[in-house]
Amino acid sequence: MAGFASAAPRLAVQTSDDLDSPRHSALVRITHWIFSLSFFGLVVSGFAIILAHPHFYWGETGGIGTPSLFDLPLPTMLGGPSGWGRSLHFQSAWIAVLAGLLYFVSGVLTQHFRNRLLPGSADLSWRSLRASALDHLRFKRPVEEDSYNVLQRLSYLAVIFLVFPLIIITGFAMSPAITSVIPQFVTMFGGHQTARTLHFFLADFLLLFLLVHIAMLIFAGFSSRMRAMITGRSANRKESS
């Protein structure tokens, strides 16, 4: 959830108000780090759960001895670390959901998504998309500290408004307590095992997104952007003030 830049063009000369205003608000920074810690807990606990049963199915049922959709090249550790893994996974998931919900509500009320993530119509042209893709392939640094190209903004929007809701819903579909009250969560996917398989692929996508996100941070200036996410201001703003 880090690194959101304005979609509108920025003036070359910064005013005193620009220098005084933080690059990231306190709420964005707090929810970012809470979500990061919970996401780490989800990855660790998710791997522990998979070790207990690295087989995936499609439909309502599936288990040892039944045909699987695919199997991971991992040893099956029945009765392994899934106990503490499930407990940590559920706790981390609820923390992540609450932090994400707070970030989402704040983003809507403050028009954070509209002002800093939503691309303009000119940005969605084929020429602009092609230029953004070439910048990534050439590892070209952004011209300005706070600038993000259209592909990056579209990626953040897709993760926030598509991938996150889907992974939350598939997670709900695997919870007997939730599906006993709202069975539509599982029936919409055609079964618990289908929801589990989709949840696995969505989690893999988020993990890949995180790795690319970290790589882009390192490439664009890791220390400056980390400082901005901790203190709210980047090195350039601090030096200019």
DSSP per-residue string spanning 135-170: HHHTTPPPSSTT---HHHHHHHHHIIIIIHHHHHHH
Q: Are 216 and 156 in contact (CB under 8 A)?
A: no
> Position of tokens 């989402």?
104
**Residue 132 pLDDT exceeds 80:** no
Which segment of 38-47, 149-158, 177-186 scores lowest on mean pLDDT?
149-158
Q: Is the dihedral of CA 105, 164, 2, 13 positive or negative?
A: negative
pLDDT value of residue 12:
37
Q: Domain residues for 48?
A: 24-54+70-116
Total domains present in the chain: 1
Name the more confident of 99 and 65: 99
Kindly state whether residue 143 falls inside one of the protein's structural domains.
Answer: no
Residue 208: exposure state from Cβ atoms within 10 A (0-12, 13-18, ≥19) = exposed
Query: What tokens appear for 138 in the block?
Result: 């050439």
Kindly state whether residue 194 falls inside one of the protein's structural domains.
Answer: no
User: Average per-residue pLDDT in the chain?
Assistant: 81
Contacts for 67 with CB less than 8 Å, ≥ 6 apart: 57
Type of residue at 234: S
Q: What is the CA radius of gyration of the chain?
A: 21
- DSSP alpha helices (H): ranges in the chain? 16-20, 26-52, 82-109, 112-116, 126-137, 150-158, 164-173, 176-181, 184-187, 192-231, 235-240
Q: In degrees rounded to 5, what are phi and psi of residue 71?
A: -125, 140
Highest mean pLDDT among 43-47, 112-116, 117-121, 153-157: 43-47
pLDDT value of residue 7:
37
- How many whole angstroms separate alpha carbon 160 and alpha carbon 1? 8
Contacts for 1 with CB less than 8 Å, ≥ 6 apart: 28, 31, 32, 35, 100, 103, 160
Kindly state whether residue 35 falls inside one of the protein's structural domains.
Answer: yes
- How many whole angstroms separate alpha carbon 220 and alpha carbon 145? 8
Kindly state whether residue 88 falls inside one of the protein's structural domains.
Answer: yes
**Residue 9 pLDDT exceeds 80:** no
Q: In degrees rounded to 5, what are phi and psi of residue 182?
A: -125, 80
**What's the pTM value of the predicted model, to 2 decimals?**
0.80
Name the β-bridge partners of 56. Answer: 70
Kindly state whether residue 82 falls inside one of the protein's structural domains.
Answer: yes
Kindly state whether residue 106 falls inside one of the protein's structural domains.
Answer: yes
Kindly state whether residue 81 falls inside one of the protein's structural domains.
Answer: yes
**Residue 36 pLDDT exceeds 60:** yes
Name the more confident of 79 and 86: 86
- How many whole angstroms separate alpha carbon 199 and alpha carbon 69? 14
Mean pLDDT of 78-87: 80
Name the more confident of 5 and 229: 229
Kindly state whether residue 101 falls inside one of the protein's structural domains.
Answer: yes
